[in-house]
A and B are shown apart, each in its own frame.
Chain A
Amino acid sequence: MDFGFTLNRNVDDITAGIGTDVLKQITKAVQSNSIESFYKIDGFCNKILMLSIENKHITHFKEYLDIVIGYYIISYEYKNNALYNKIFEICSDRSARRIRELFILLNYVFNKSKLEDKKIYNRFKLQAFNAFSQLLFEQIKRKDIQCFKLTFNQIENVFLGETISMSEFDMTLRNPAKIDTEKLKNYIEDIQTNIYVKHAILGIRYWLYFLYGNKQISLEDLTQFIRLTNQFKKRPISIEFWEMELLFNKLNSTHSTRYFNWQGWDYETHPEGESYTMPSVFDWFFCGYIIDSIQQGSIHITPHVNIDLIEVNNAPQNITLLIGTLKDKIQKIQNKDIWLEYFNKIHFNDNIKTISEQLNQISSIIEIKKANEIANEKLDINNVTEFRTKFYERWKKSKFIREIFEYFDTKKICKDKDRKLFLIGQNMFFEKAKILFLGGKHCQRIYGVEDLGAKLSHWEDDFFFQTVLKGQTEIVYPSIITGLQESIKNIKNKKYTPTIILADSTFGWMGLKTDEKWNDEKIIDSSAGSYDSIPVFFVNAGLLENRFIVADFGKAFTMLYREIENGFENELKIDIKLVSDIIAQEKLNKEPLKWKYVDGQEISEEDAITHIKTSVIVDFEVVELFEVNNSNAFEIGLIENIK
């Protein structure tokens, strides 16, 4: 049997294994055409189902619902044999009827219960609708339109004298302030049945579309089945956008990956040895939604419905993901001829255009709403501190020239206020980056921003090399070895002791490391080795390309820096500033096109300003100056003709 029965095999349950036997007995009863025995087994299953509701035992309930679906699946095998006609009819009828009859007890106990118990009974109802949907799925698989119709009728009969319209609920959600929370919670539990049945039917409809899209059923089959699901209790089924949003949240949360068993639906057995992926529910379900919407001409949108009232654990990015998914589906449908055939080309392109615009509108509204929330939220001090610390750590880790100055102890504080030092750093306008520093639900990580710290260090290195290269003439040498030997000799002749060699990193593999004077021993920790007992550093800076510097470092250079209050190591300043109205206005004037359109929709000036205010200004700087004390104490060499 290809149906995945969820049978109880828990070793801590004394009834484990009985379900498997009951299925075998059903098969036996059908095989021996014993209608009476089947009735007895059916009675037994019914008793277990009722007992499980009474004792709130969902495992047994699920197990026996599956067995009830098994009535249909088992007896279908004998459908084409005239001898078994009667028992097949009885089995397939009982299958749907049994599930429907559970609702009599379920509704009775549900209506008597308090909120906590209502939640539990809703889980049972969900399972029962799941069984219905599974039964319909099996009937589609067998293209059994007769039984499909019968099952659908039974679902309708669950709602005898009731309606599944959500309009009243829509109204309530629009004015949540008017009812108290307790009442609202009860109301939400009451409405779940309507949500479940809708999902069960939509799941089936969209699955049919998916089968057609993948050429698993013909156009005639599709129209036949779809026609049966077009109406529920003689009324068309309408789907609001917020319902889809809610469903998307449910499917995208980790808790309910098996909602309606949709994730497990597949239309063929896995071919052996071939790579194959199961259809994803996000693929087919929302594709079906778009097809339904194209048919209706537009998406139904009820404004001002706050779905957070129903589902507390909503991730704010889900709605963006949903819109992304839907847009993606529109494109896929547009490119497939099979859908043109289905829609008969009537209004196909126009409707698609309308729906795309609607989606753009929704996403721009959401963007603005989100921007508004972000713009008004205060920065989270912990996140700001964390960013600053990480920035500082990166800066500290990648500092190079500073470390050498610190090693030779030639870094000096500049107390002379009139002395002009240089400010190295940036006042950076960081677009849409405020979310980095928020504490609430909008908080998001952007990885790698702390690398700005490393960038600052490199700027400092460049600044140093600039200063040095400006202060000395370069001497051209034919090779690095001759250059170094000459320079060391020259400096020594001037009565200085060379204490450092800074060389372009390419020299490493251009003969320097193979020279006899090279030694891998590190005199200074961060150096690469030494040449002629002088520590060598390889530098990767553009300014030092093909060049090297030999210096009596302590005597040749000094570094001056200004103390910064509350800065890291008293030197590094990092500030996160909000974008003020004035700056936002300036930005808008400068780049109106960039800020005035969200998802292709033009927004008001006020919204644009809000949008800009989701950015922050990251201000980081050090104030310093490198000085050349003595140009005799160092030499710069340039190697030409590098091969």
Chain B
Amino acid sequence: MSDSIKKEADKLLNIENPNLYESNKDRFMDFINDHNNWYIVVFCVLFIFFIMHLLDIPVLNFIPIKDDTVKNLINSRTNNIVTMISVTFAIIGFLIANLAIKESFTYNLLFKKSTFFPVAFIALSLIASFIVLSTFSDWWSIDYQSDTLLVGTYLILIVIFLIGYLFTKLVRFTNQKYILDLVEKELISESKKNLLMIGRKVISLNKITELGFYQYSMAFLIKMTKGEFVLPNDHNVISDIKIKKLRKISEKIVGKPKVFVKDIFLYREVVPNSEDGFFYLDENDYPQLKDEIKELNNCIITSKKGDQIHTEAKEYVLQKLQENISSNDEKLVESYLNMLFEMYKLQQNFKI
């Protein structure tokens, strides 16, 4: 097992608060709905289109295609899919324009929850694949082209279903209640993620305190040193801690000169080039513990950008609450207050 305080903390948190962890399905959906992961979708489509059929699955190869029709078919399929996608995008544009609540937060939700991105990426990469296929039609063997065409046709059929699915999803976004449900889900998912981060932070702080180091203070009268430790360039947050190694070293230095720690916990921001050390000791003791200090500092893993506490959903809900109170819409006021109540429930049932 790898040495990570994050994992240790997650283990503890999972025992006390299993409800905070998302199901695998949700996590998968979140992953493919993230537009930053486009390359994976594109890669999959290209892989299936150009390579999968080399495996030769007899069940799918039941349609015979004559050699001289292959090129024609490829061209017409390419036309088909391009037309289809253009029409689809036009309809999607119309649906999105008719969203029940038109705000940047709900647009974000729409793109996040409607599978818009994966469907669009699949369709677009399919178009690209057909274009490539038709361009290289004089170069590749006819057998290969006919197999590829077959796979492409299956993929087009799948895309048609996916577009249908996307339409049904998008249509629901014209319903206000559906959007409210989604906002609530989003708020809860945000809260859960934040709680997990808080949990990890508190647990990491407790674990470090348990090691029994002394607390560093800027007000010490003795001159303290952090050794030759320098924070890697641009790193500004503690992203993980090698707790097992840290434990081992701390046991080793029991009885030796005092080592002081300064606020070590997960997600702590550190500012490079200022008071950025994690372990300190009296300057006179430094030669004796030079190696240990280096090792100790190596246990703290920093990175450029860590996870952050998100409050978009919470702020959105509070803002909507205010708007609806001003406009005297008590029904919506109640809905938004109920969402906040769910947050309180989560917080109060959260155990560390």
Minimum CB–CB distance from B257 to chain A (whole Å) comes to 33
Interface hits, B296-348 → A, CB 8 Å: 314, 318, 321-322, 324-326, 328, 330, 333-334, 337-338, 340-341, 343-348
Interface hits, B24-71 → A, CB 8 Å: none
Kindly specify which of B157-165, B190-198, B218-226, B276-284 makes contact with the partner chain: B190-198
Contact at A21–B328, with CB atoms within 8 Å?
Answer: no
Residue in contact with A34 in the complex, picked from B328, B343, B345, CB distance below 8 Å: B328
Contact at B348–A18, with CB atoms within 8 Å?
Answer: no
Residue in contact with B348 in the complex, picked from A24, A28, A37, A52, CB distance below 8 Å: A52
Residue in contact with A15 in the complex, picked from B324, B338, B344, CB distance below 8 Å: B344
Contact at A32–B325, with CB atoms within 8 Å?
Answer: yes
Minimum CB–CB distance from B87 to chain A (whole Å) comes to 44
Q: Point out the residues of chain A lying under 8 angstroms from B338, CB to CB.
A: 44
In the bound assembly, the distance between CA atoms of A14 and B194 in angstroms comes to 7
In the bound assembly, the distance between CA atoms of A66 and B322 in angstroms comes to 20
Interface code A46-81, partner B: CB below 8 Å = 1, 0 otherwise?
011001100101001000000000000000000000
Q: Point out the residues of chain A lying under 8 angstroms from B77, CB to CB.
A: none
Minimum CB–CB distance from B129 to chain A (whole Å) comes to 45
Contact at B348–A14, with CB atoms within 8 Å?
Answer: no
In the bound assembly, the distance between CA atoms of A12 and B328 in angstroms comes to 33
Interface hits, B76-125 → A, CB 8 Å: none
Q: Point out the residues of chain A lying under 8 angstroms from B348, CB to CB.
A: 51-52, 55, 57, 60
In the bound assembly, the distance between CA atoms of A381 and B324 in angstroms comes to 76
Given contacts A40-B334, A47-B341, whether A25 and B325 have CB atoms under 8 Å apart is yes
Minimum CB–CB distance from A17 to chain B (whole Å) comes to 8
In the bound assembly, the distance between CA atoms of A29 and B150 in angstroms comes to 64
Interface size class of B (residues with CB under 8 A): 20 to 34
Contact at A48–B344, with CB atoms within 8 Å?
Answer: yes
Q: Point out the residues of chain A lying under 8 angstroms from B314, CB to CB.
A: 14, 18
Minimum CB–CB distance from A33 to chain B (whole Å) comes to 9
Contact at B341–A12, with CB atoms within 8 Å?
Answer: no
Contact at A40–B337, with CB atoms within 8 Å?
Answer: yes
Is A36 on the interface with B (CB-CB < 8 A)?
Answer: yes
Q: Point out the residues of chain B lying under 8 angstroms from A44, CB to CB.
A: 337-338, 340-341
Is A41 on the interface with B (CB-CB < 8 A)?
Answer: yes
Is A13 on the interface with B (CB-CB < 8 A)?
Answer: yes
In the bound assembly, the distance between CA atoms of A44 and B339 in angstroms comes to 10
Residue in contact with A28 in the complex, picked from B194, B326, B341, CB distance below 8 Å: B326
Q: Give the nearest-CB partner of B324 in chain A.
A: A37
Interface code A416-446, partner B: CB below 8 Å = 1, 0 otherwise?
0000000000000000000000000000000
Is B202 on the interface with A (CB-CB < 8 A)?
Answer: yes
In the bound assembly, the distance between CA atoms of A18 and B345 in angstroms comes to 14
Given contacts A24-B322, A34-B325, whether A18 and B343 have CB atoms under 8 Å apart is yes
Given contacts A41-B333, A44-B341, whether A21 and B321 have CB atoms under 8 Å apart is yes
Given contacts A14-B195, A47-B341, A55-B348, whether A25 and B328 have CB atoms under 8 Å apart is no
Contact at B322–A14, with CB atoms within 8 Å?
Answer: no
Contact at A37–B202, with CB atoms within 8 Å?
Answer: no
Interface code A1-45, partner B: CB below 8 Å = 1, 0 otherwise?
000000000001111001001001100110010101101110110
Contact at A28–B325, with CB atoms within 8 Å?
Answer: yes
Minimum CB–CB distance from B326 to chain A (whole Å) comes to 6
Contact at A18–B340, with CB atoms within 8 Å?
Answer: yes
In the bound assembly, the distance between CA atoms of A55 and B202 in angstroms comes to 20
In the bound assembly, the distance between CA atoms of A36 and B202 in angstroms comes to 41
In the bound assembly, the distance between CA atoms of A146 and B334 in angstroms comes to 32
In the bound assembly, the distance between CA atoms of A43 and B334 in angstroms comes to 9
In the bound assembly, the distance between CA atoms of A244 and B191 in angstroms comes to 47
Contact at A36–B328, with CB atoms within 8 Å?
Answer: yes
Q: Give the nearest-CB partner of B349 in chain A.
A: A55
Minimum CB–CB distance from A212 to chain B (whole Å) comes to 41
Given contacts A14-B343, A57-B348, whether A40 and B333 have CB atoms under 8 Å apart is yes
Given contacts A14-B194, A44-B341, whether A37 and B330 have CB atoms under 8 Å apart is yes
Interface code B177-209, partner A: CB below 8 Å = 1, 0 otherwise?
000000000000001001100100110000000
Minimum CB–CB distance from B105 to chain A (whole Å) comes to 17
Minimum CB–CB distance from B19 to chain A (whole Å) comes to 14
Contact at A37–B341, with CB atoms within 8 Å?
Answer: no
Minimum CB–CB distance from B266 to chain A (whole Å) comes to 12
In the bound assembly, the distance between CA atoms of A568 and B140 in angstroms comes to 112
26 A/B residue pairs, CB under 8 Å, sorted by A: A14-B195, A14-B198, A14-B314, A14-B347, A15-B340, A15-B347, A18-B343, A18-B344, A21-B322, A28-B322, A32-B325, A32-B326, A32-B328, A34-B328, A37-B325, A40-B330, A40-B333, A40-B337, A41-B333, A43-B337, A44-B338, A47-B341, A48-B344, A51-B341, A55-B348, A57-B347
With A37-B330, A57-B348 given, can you name 12 additional A-B contacts, CB distance below 8 Å? A14-B198, A15-B340, A15-B344, A21-B318, A28-B326, A32-B328, A34-B330, A37-B328, A44-B337, A44-B341, A51-B344, A55-B348
Going nearest first, the 10 A-B pairs with the smallest beta carbon separation are A55-B348, A44-B337, A36-B330, A57-B348, A40-B333, A37-B325, A21-B318, A14-B194, A34-B328, A12-B198
